[in-house]
Structure 1
């Protein structure tokens, strides 16, 4: 079994290539749908936390695995990661474990690469201003992913912790060799933003962002919100937006914004399109962005397995990671 930690995964990933891998995979899903049972959730009421168990099988690539991920928001005040877990890849022919990967690192890369794929398809401008709400791992991953597909103008970060925003802005300014600014008010981050990435642990049904705060043609990648009731953006905003999701059924069950918009009849299910509509071989009118657009990612095990298999292949080829054979001892 190959063990791949955060650093190993980072060495195995080239973001523009991963975006194309995910695009090709979603094209293939229309021909042979992945087998993905509903994910199991165990809540930990004392810690106000939960754990997710997400298996998947991809027939085309013969990829089999499961992701286990736990979200403990209280870890942040202790200086620990709020998200922890592992992805296990399993050999279909023998059933033996091929690899165990850090799920937090894989999830951050997978989620940001999906946002980059949707942004690349919908936002055709060569230079874009970016606002990121949140200052954690997903915030960093999204800024890096957006920079991989577009030239960025203004890059602004807002979070509840100015210190964390400043630290992230300083680090990414060096890594990306361009200015990244931490701002004290969310309104300052959203002003003139062409792309807005919400990467928070917000848990309230009262929305963080209202439609009046956004440019009329802005694009939103909404990936945060720590509960099924949480609304990072106003559900009423969806009534005037082009809506895409990573998986329709999962988004309707697990996104607070979409669930409320459906309950209030702001939108119907037919108004929601999966990202497969953006990656078909023959472009359709739906891919031409007009006005506001919104992408909600709730995560899907099929995408985790696509990325895990890609990382595993690169690791084997590059002799990256640590072999562990204790199960066969």
Structure 2
């Protein structure tokens, strides 16, 4: 039986999903970094992600989607969830909300792991869907007291601040956050320096030509990635190595840390399986297509 899951059918338990994704990253799941990427037009990049695999999950994923920063939503496509033993198609899932969730939760996990344990204030640069996904996920992992929002569109920043207040997070105006969450499409660095002890999660270096962070910031920071082969920045270590204790991660309170993930197909699998299991427990017949 194949089920179809649209944006309105995606149900997640963020703390449980965060634990599942953390375990997959710790395990260094196989098939994590292979992908095919092809340009479609000046505005659109089509991406085909080859099978994502993770220990303990009896399924694999293939994702086909397109990115267009000039549209909203900027990401459209489908994730195909297949039975690992038979290859049967278990689910077709809208890739937009799952990719936003994967990227936001993945970035927040890095922030939670590398930021100072007592850090409670956040700056978000980029008041779109990814900025919201990161902040919401981070707030599920640690207390967040306040957020400062930066965006080229003042109305978007104001809307973001109002939304954050619904999470119990107050706006802090121009105050610098101890954790900086980047979520832009920039091809020119927009952040060049931060105070000592700051953690920065940057989601903008997932494709050639994209860059959010200045060279001087990266040169002085501990830089962590999810996959060295996919990363477009020079890295000191990977998040898996930190989770396994093979690298200490942050070593002092005044160290600047950066997490720059490219996004892994196995993360799509972990989230797709989580969502599929939740849907099946609820009422799979509602989504049955054959």
Q: TM-score, normalised by structure 1?
A: 0.80
Matched ranges for 1:174-253 at <5 A: 174=166, 176-180=167-171, 188=174, 191-202=175-186, 204=187, 206-211=188-193, 214-224=194-204, 227-251=207-231
Aligned length: 287
Give yes or no for contact 1:90–1:98 (8 Å, CA) kept in 2.
yes
What is the aligned partner in structure 2 of residue 171 from structure 1? 163
**CA distance, structure 1, for counterparts of residue 44 and residue 69 of structure 2:** 7
Pair 1:178–1:246, CA change in 2 (3 A)? same
SS of 1:200's partner is: coil
The answer as to 2:82 corresponding to 1:65 is no
SS of 2:70's partner is: helix
The answer as to 2:94 corresponding to 1:102 is yes
The CA deviation at 1:245 is 0.5
The answer as to 2:114 corresponding to 1:122 is yes
**CA distance, structure 2, for counterparts of residue 304 and residue 43 of structure 1:** 22
Write out per-residue CA displacement over residues 149-181 of structure 1, whole angstroms, 9 at most, x where no aligned residue.
Answer: 12122201111111111112212212x033236
SS of 1:249's partner is: coil
Pair 1:324–1:317, CA change in 2 (3 A)? closer
Q: Unpaired runs of 5+ in structure 1?
A: 263-270
Give yes or no for contact 2:206–2:263 (8 Å, CA) kept in 1.
no
Matched ranges for 1:278-317 at <5 A: 278-280=242-244, 282=245, 285-290=248-253, 291-317=255-281
What is the aligned partner in structure 1 of residue 46 from structure 2? 51
Give yes or no for contact 1:173–1:179 (8 Å, CA) kept in 2.
yes
**CA distance, structure 1, for counterparts of residue 168 and residue 112 of structure 2:** 21
Q: TM-score, normalised by structure 2?
A: 0.90
Query: What's the Cα RMSD here?
Result: 2.2
Give yes or no for contact 2:104–2:137 (8 Å, CA) kept in 1.
yes
SS of 1:193's partner is: coil
Write out per-residue CA displacement over residues 231-270 of structure 1, whole angstroms, 9 at most, x where no aligned residue.
Answer: 101023222111111111111xxx2xx1xxx5xxxxxxxx
Write out per-residue CA displacement over residues 199-221 of structure 1, whole angstroms, 9 at most, x where no aligned residue.
Answer: 0111x2x311112xx11110011
What is the aligned partner in structure 1 of residue 148 from structure 2? 156
Q: Relative CO higher for 1 or 2, CA cutoff 8 Å, sep ≥ 6?
A: 2
**CA distance, structure 1, for counterparts of residue 4 and residue 225 of structure 2:** 31
The answer as to 2:103 corresponding to 1:111 is yes
**CA distance, structure 1, for counterparts of residue 52 and residue 263 of structure 2:** 15
SS of 1:53's partner is: strand
Give yes or no for contact 2:122–2:147 (8 Å, CA) kept in 1.
yes
Give yes or no for contact 1:131–1:193 (8 Å, CA) kept in 2.
yes
The answer as to 2:125 corresponding to 1:145 is no
The CA deviation at 1:283 is 7.2
